[in-house]
Structure 1
Amino acid sequence: MADAQNKIIGAEQARPMRLRDALRQARIEAADRTGVVVDLRDAEIARLEILNEALDPLFAEIPDGVDLFDRGLSQGDTPRLWIDVVAHVMMGRDKRIYRFVQDTRFGRIVIAESHDAAAMVDAITDYIARRLIEREHALTAATPVPMQPAVAEKPRLGGIGIFVLGFIAGALALFALALFAALRQV
């Protein structure tokens, strides 16, 4: 009788897995198996895709007007999941550990490392929150330049006026020089 009750309780507690959860679990298992076998690069990409899917709810919460973050998976020599221009997730040397790094002017710093995708989602959430706060501070610190009252300027001579003035001054100087030379010969 106790076995029957345990089976009933176990059936009630076991809820059907959603297809998305089952696919995620299958990808994790495949990535783990692939990481041990030959094709480590495919395992890296698969694990980064798993993390990318886990970040979907986080990026859905970012306000529409914020364009700081540009998430994407690059599949170069070293596959990376980019969070923004300076921060990305790559796989560690053993191809099973996630490494969240940020490029700074002083070099690359490691923000977080973990085997668990959920721990990486938490670290990326903290990073995004800090970046959003930095953005708010930058926007509030930028004070608008006060408008200066327009002062009526004196009218200036244009380009033609300066030319005419120079021509007259040159003619007077030439006349004065000719007069001086004529008086000197007499």
Structure 2
Amino acid sequence: MAKILFYDLETTGTMFWKNGIHQLSGILEIDGEVKETFNFKMRPNPNAIIDDGSLKVANVTIEVIQNYDLDMKQGYDKFISLLSTYVNKYDKKDKIFLCGFRNTGFDDPFLNAFFKQNGDDYSFSWFWSNSLDVNVLATQELKEIRQSLKDFKLSTVAETLGIEVDHNNLHDALYDVELTRLSYHKLCKVQ
């Protein structure tokens, strides 16, 4: 049984050891069937450094993220509650694949840090240690035309794969998750 969590984060900067998460979104799929879609907007870790440039990319302000209903711990608790519906974290054979776009170098370290910031050193009780990365899959598929692409961002890759992209919604974590999932299915030729 393949369990895949297509996910994306919006953060207060680019360094997982000093910045924090303010949006955690995902689509959980089991054997190709969507089981859950979630979009947790939360106040970041109170100790997180906030980079105005990162907030600008996500089209939010400090005032907006500081007024989210959930604090970091509440966001963590909601995420754990969702995961525990689909995974027995004590069963070494029952895990979820994380899947994102450039997640292995960015989102995965932030997610692991998020667990640690909430006093949990066992994030990999839920997830396989080897993630799926749509950026890597797309690199293989598009290697012959890479030089003709303006960049290799999620939006460019999705459009190249024939997926319609609403540029006004980019960098909203849930919208980016939807693009990532559609791109994954195109690349893996899943109907």
Larger radius of gyration: 1
Work out which structure has the larger RCO, using CA pairs closer than 8 Å and 6 or more positions apart in sequence: 2
TM-score with structure 2 length normalisation? 0.25
